[in-house]
Amino acid sequence: MKSIATTIVRHKTTRGLYALLGVGYGAWATARDDWFGKTDGGKDCVVFACDRHGTIAPFRMDELEVMSVNGVTPKEALADALERFGDAQGEEK
């Protein structure tokens, strides 16, 4: 099966899997009451993802965890990056 570049996320509570569509849409959340409750000018970051049926749903960023990016787990991707680029303090390996 042919695949496109996809980030798969899992809802921390329900354990449901979703395809990540976009992040950083908190700017539209002005200081008003809405479906996320009272907002304070866009500090809430909304994440949009869809289920296997294509149904799009909004989530708070802290509700989701990344399972894979293009079929690679975050652990694998970061281990490879650490080997190639060094650790967070900038030390080369």
Work out the average pLDDT over 14-18: 97
Contact status, residue 42 vs residue 26, Cβ threshold 8 Å: yes
Residue 2 pLDDT class (50, 70, 90 cuts): low
Closest CA to 66 of 3, 11, 29: 11
Give tens-digit pLDDT for 27-43: 545 545 555 555 555 55
Per-residue pLDDT reduced to its tens digit, 55-79 = 999 998 899 999 999 999 999 988 8
> What's the pLDDT at 93?
46
Q: What is the mean pLDDT of the chain?
A: 79
